[in-house]
Amino acid sequence: MDNRPNKRFLEKRIGVLMGGLSSEREVSLKSGAAISASLARLGYHQIPIDMDADIALTLKREHLDVVFIALHGRYGEDGAIQGLLEIMNIPYTGSKLTASALAMNKIASDGLLKAHGLPLPKTLILTQEETKKIETLQLSIPLPFVIKPVSEGSSVGVSIVKSPEQIKPALETAFRFGTKILLQSYISGMEVHVGILDEKPLGAIEIKSKGTFYDYDAKYVPGMSKHIFPAPLPADVYQHVLDLALQAHQALGCKSYSRVDLLIDSEMKPYVLEVNTLPGMTETSLMPEMARECGIDFDALVEKILNTACTEHEDKSCPSR
């Protein structure tokens, strides 16, 4: 790759937002550090920023021309920081406010994806009051099932419940992150993730986790999962998975890049689980791995994402073309 910086961004101040206030802070710091190092290698003027409650003052003080968002989870991936950046007229990478908010809220995203005819696991939405009587409820989803928070990423707060005695601790874990939880049918099968870049699928990668499922440790601890690219699926199923992932990305209005998570059951039927609008960019993250397998090294990936900031946010603060 040509490592000379894009002329549009020469002398421009690029803020890399990382860290933040969510449960995924440590992962975000790693993503941000990797992105900052890449921008530095490419010759850009990058400014690492650890987001805190004073972020508006920090952004104003730094006089940024564009922001590369390396945040994960609440306040970074849910539309909050996107809204602030739009108010401040600062172009940023990734999806816009509405798509970010929809994708992060699993109730909202499930409803929209279903409306577009995409296949999803059967899901119940439960409040804390309703779950007090869960043992006596006539649930339409039998064991085993999955209990998860409504608005968390990186599998934070997710439990696979296989027996009645596991229900209470799983609920307690999920309710630490909100007042509503999702109870979802458990689909046993192949875990597949599709990277979307520039409105095109990069391909599908299979994940074989050493744990029960692709949880936080499997995502971010080296050696805790095995990745197979391309996913070993029949050609027609593979293409169907790519098509579903792109449809999910577009249904939520996502832009630039995303990662779509799916499960394939024993009958080769795929189910869409969720769309991640700011997928991890760490050494073990799937998005950089899929890009690399497609001939796009990490620096090229970072630059491609950076270049979309001004494509999606046309205003006077964008570098001249």
How confident is residue 316, by pLDDT bands cut at 50, 70 and 90?
A: very low
Do 237 and 141 share a domain, yes or no? no
Do 116 and 206 share a domain, yes or no? yes
Q: Which residues, in sequence order, are bridge partners of residue 168?
A: none
CATH number assigned to the domain comprising residue 88? 3.40.50.20
Question: Who has greater pLDDT, 236 or 167?
Answer: 236
Do 106 and 232 share a domain, yes or no? yes
Instruction: Name the 3-class secondary structure at 242.
Output: helix
Instruction: Supply the pLDDT for residue 263.
Output: 96
Strand order in the sheet with 180-185: 123-127, 180-185, 145-149, 159-161
CB 300, CB 306: distance < 8 Å: no
Does residue 241 have a pLDDT over 90? yes
Residue-wise pLDDT for 164-211, tens only, equals: 889 889 988 988 888 888 899 999 999 999 999 999 999 999 999 775
| Number of domains the chain contains | 3
Instruction: Supply the pLDDT for residue 157.
Output: 81
Q: Which residues are catalytic?
A: 24, 154, 220, 259, 261, 274, 276, 280
Do 230 and 113 share a domain, yes or no? yes
The pTM for the full model equals 0.86
Q: What is the mean pLDDT of residues 31-52?
A: 96
How confident is residue 302, by pLDDT bands cut at 50, 70 and 90?
A: very high
Residue 266: inside a domain: yes
- Hey, what are 91's tokens? 């172009």
Residue 156: inside a domain: yes
Q: What percent of the chain has pLDDT over 70?
A: 86
Instruction: Supply the pLDDT for residue 321.
Output: 34
Q: What's the burial of 37, exposed, middle or buried (CB within 10 Å: 0-12/13-18/19+)?
A: middle
Instruction: Supply the pLDDT for residue 153.
Output: 56
Q: What is the chain's mean pLDDT, rounded?
A: 88
Do 112 and 210 share a domain, yes or no? yes
Do 174 and 244 share a domain, yes or no? no
CATH number assigned to the domain comprising residue 115? 3.30.470.20
- Range name among 106-110, 124-128, 134-138 with the lowest pLDDT average: 134-138
Do 149 and 255 share a domain, yes or no? no
Dist CA 247 CA 254 (whole Å): 10
CB 76, CB 100: distance < 8 Å: no
Residue 4's Cβ-side half-sphere holds a number of Cα atoms within 13 Å equal to 3
CB 272, CB 248: distance < 8 Å: yes
Contacts 24+ apart (CB under 8 A), 293-297: 293/202, 293/203, 293/205, 293/229, 293/230, 294/202, 294/203, 296/197, 296/202, 297/1
Do 64 and 140 share a domain, yes or no? no
CB 245, CB 204: distance < 8 Å: yes
Does residue 155 have a pLDDT over 80? no
Does residue 63 have a pLDDT over 60? yes
Q: What is the mean pLDDT of residues 231-236?
A: 98
- Range name among 9-13, 71-75, 166-170 with the lowest pLDDT average: 9-13
Containing domain of residue 252, as a range? Answer: 102-120+188-277
Residue-wise pLDDT for 249-267, tens only, equals: 999 999 999 999 999 999 9
